[in-house]
Amino acid sequence: MTDGAQAGRWWRPRSLRTQLLLWLITLHLIATVLTAWFSFEAYGHLVHNALDDQMQLVAESYSGSDQPKTPRPMDGEAAFSRGAYIVQIWSADGTTLRATSWSVLSVPLQPRSGFSDVSTGSHAHSSWRVFTAEPGPRADQPRVQVLQNEDHRRRRALRRALLEGLPIALLLPVALLILWLIVSAASRSLRAVARDVASQDERSPTELSLARVPDEIAPLVGAFNNLLSRVRSAFATQRRFVQDAAHELRTPMAAIGLQIENLRAHVPAGEATDRFNQLEAGVTRAQHLIEQLLSLSRQDAPRRTTVREPVDIEVLLRESVSQLMVLADARRVDVGFEGSITSVVLAPAAELRSVFDNLIDNALRYAPEGGVVDVRLHEVDGHAVVDVLDNGPGIPEAAMGRVFDRFFRVPGAAAGGSGLGLTIARTAAERNGLRVELRNRDEGPGLRARVYLPLTAG
Ligand code: ADP
C-alpha cells in the first residue's frame, strides 16, 4: 500500500458512521461559532443603540429645567454589575460638578455634546459611554451628562449572542443521537443481509430479502440476487449433468457386471483368471462410483422437507451391517455389533442409513483382509453415539482435515474407493443434526468414526 493510500485511510475512517458523525460535529461547531459571532455583531449593535437611546432619554429627563432634580445616589456595584446610568449635573460653564449619582467617578464634562467614549484608566472597567446633553436655550442653564460602563454593555451583548448560539450547541447531542440511531438501523439491516448471505447453502442459494434493505443498498443486493440465481442455475445444470450421466451409465454397467458373471465359468485358469479378477474388481469399483455419484447429486438437489421420524437406531444399524455382510465375507472381515440406548433418535431413516452405510463400508474396505470391524451403540458423557472401529491403517493426521472433501483420497489408500463416501456421510449427518468425528484409535492401529446422535427423550 502506498503512503498516500495510508494517509487517505487515516483521514477518512472506513466506518460510514464515524465519517458521518465527524462531519456532523464539525458542521455543528462551525454553525455554533458562526451564529454566536453573527449574533454578537447584530445584537451588539442592537443593544448598543437601545442603551444609547435610553441614555439620551435619561439625560433629557434631567436637562431642560433650571433646577434639574437631584440624581439618586448609587454605588460602584450598580455602575459595574447592573450598568446603571450615572447622571452628572454640571454648572452652565461646565467647570463645577453640582450633583452626581456616583461621586467616585471623575469624568469631566465633554466639550462636544452627543455621544462619546471616554477612558479613565487602562482597566476594562474604566471605559465609559458618555452622552452629553446639548446646552439649554439660556446661557445659565445647568448641563447634564449621563454615563454608562462600557464593559457592562459589551458583556450584555456577548451574553445575548451566546444565548442565540446555545440552541444550536444543544441540538448537537440530539442530532448525533438521531444520526447514530439512523446509521445503526441501516447497519443492522446490512448485517441482516450479511447473515442471510452467510447462512446460504452454497449448493442451492436462495434470494436475499429486500424488505428491510435501505434504497441505497437495494441495487447491490439486487445484483447479488442476480448473481445467486446464475450460480443456482449453474449448480442445477451441473447436478443434472452428473445425475443424468450416472443414471445413463448405471444400466450398461449393470449389463457388463452380468456379462462378467456369466463369463466367469468360461475363463481358463492361470493368468487369464487373474486378469479376469482385476476386470471384475474394476467393474465393481465403477458401479460403486456411479452409485456414490447418484447419492451425491441427490443430496445436492434443493432440499425437500424431510420427515423426521422416530428411528430404532439399533435395528437400523443391524440392517446396515447385514447389507454389507457380502463385502465383509469377501474380505474375511469379522464384523460385530453391540450396544443399545434407551432414547429415541428423531431423523429421516434413509439419511441415517446413508451415514452409517458409508462409514461401515469404509471400515470394511480399509480393514486388512481377515481384520476386525466393530460397530458400537452406546452413551458417552450423556450423549448417544455410534462408533465404527476398524483395525486398518487409520488416516494420517495431515490428511484428516481433507478426507471429507469431494473426491479426496489419501495418497496410497487401498484401491476401490471413489473419494465421495465421507462427503456423502457428512452432508447427510450435518443436515440432520448429527456430528461425525474421525480419529485414529489410541489403543492400536485403525480408525474410530464416531457419530453423535440427535435424540428425543427416551
Ligand atoms: P473412498 O471412497 O475413497 O473411501 P471416502 O470419502 O469414503 O472415499 O474416504 C476418503 C479417504 O479417507 C479414503 O480414500 C481413505 O484414504 C480415507 N479413509 C476413509 N475411511 C477410512 C478408514 N476407515 N480407514 C482408513 N482410511 C480411511
184-203 pLDDT per residue, tens: 888 888 888 888 888 877 66
Predicted confidence (pLDDT) at residue 7 exceeds the cutoff of 50: no
> Does pLDDT of 8 surpass 60?
no
How many CA atoms, within 13 angstroms, populate the side-chain half-sphere of residue 46? 11
What backbone phi and psi angles, to 5 degrees, belong to 383? -115, 135
**CA-proximal residue: ligand 1, atom 7 (nearest):** 421
> Of 362, 366, 420, which is best to mutate to test ligand 1, by the most ligand atoms within 8 angstroms of its C-beta?
362
DSSP string, 221-272: HHHHHHHHHHHHHHHHHHHHHHHHHHHHHHHHHHHHHHHHHHHGGGSPSSHH
For the chain, what is the largest distance between any 2 Cα atoms, rounded to a whole number of angstroms?
160
Q: Which domains does the chain have, with CATH numbers?
A: 18-158 (3.30.450), 201-304 (1.10.287.130), 309-452 (3.30.565.10)
| Minimum-distance ligand 1 atom for the alpha carbon of 390 | 23
Q: Are 441 and 394 in contact (CB under 8 A)?
A: yes
Query: What are 411's three cell numbers?
Result: 495418497
Residues with CB under 6 A from ligand 1: 362-363, 366, 390, 392-395, 403, 408-410, 413, 417-423, 447
**Cα 393 to chain center, whole Å?**
46
Residue 4: band (very low, low, confident or very high) from pLDDT cuts 50, 70, 90: very low
For a substitution probing ligand 1, which of 403, 406, 407 has the most ligand atoms within 8 Å of its CB? 403
Quickly list DSSP for 293-304. HHHHHHHHSPPP
Radius of gyration of the CA atoms of the chain, in A: 49
Q: Greater confidence, 429 or 161? A: 429
Query: At which residue does the C-alpha cell 434413509 appear?
Result: 350
Tens of pLDDT, residue by residue over 316-365, are: 999 999 999 999 999 999 999 999 988 888 888 989 999 999 999 999 99
- pTM score of the predicted model: 0.58
Average pLDDT for 95-105: 90
Paired strand residues for 376: 338, 387
